[in-house]
Structure 1
Amino acid sequence: MARISVEHDKDSSLMRLGAAVRARRKALGLSQEALADAAGIDRAHMGKIERGERNVTFLNIVRIAVAMQCRPSDLLLAAEL
């Protein structure tokens, strides 16, 4: 089975999730660096997640959601996933 990567993201799921993370982060008034620190994720990696360049793991989605005081499902719903 082929490894899932950004190139295989035909329906732009990663870009939509990244946009949802960015929108919520901005609504909370957090910098990308502050969110990355709160979630325990490298700032550069967080930038790639927000730009849809990384196939973010479920555990990182949970960490990001906890840092933004929401549920992972809230982020997925905002991304229409």
Structure 2
Amino acid sequence: MKNNLKVERAIHDMTQADLAEKIGVSRQSINAMEKNKYVPSTVLALKIAKLFKKPVEDIFILEEDD
């Protein structure tokens, strides 16, 4: 699963630590998501989408091999 977290953070002028604090996870979790090493839970994906005011599908992209 790909994602646009880094792009969305840049648009909103947020650091990984800023985003992590707002959604209640560690900065390392954000880093792992951005590197596609960690797939967030549905609840976490929804929190991120709500924060950025975008549909989940605009932030997290399901690939054919997922």
For the aligned residues, what is the CA RMSD? Answer: 1.4
What is the TM-score when the length of structure 1 is the normalising length? 0.65
Q: Deviation of residue 27 (structure 1)? A: 1.2
Give runs of ≥4 in structure 1 deviating > 6 Å.
Answer: none
CA contact (8 A) 1:25 1:35 kept: yes
Within 2, Cα distance between the matches of 1:37 and 1:70? 19
User: Where is the strand percentage greater, Structure 1 or Structure 2?
Assistant: 2
Higher alpha-carbon Rg: 1
Amino-acid identity (%): 18
Within 2, Cα distance between the matches of 1:38 and 1:70? 16
What is the TM-score when the length of structure 2 is the normalising length? 0.77
What runs of 5+ residues in structure 1 fail to find an aligned partner?
Answer: 1-12
Aligned length: 62
What runs of 5+ residues in structure 2 fail to find an aligned partner?
Answer: none
Within 1, Cα distance between the matches of 2:19 and 2:53? 11
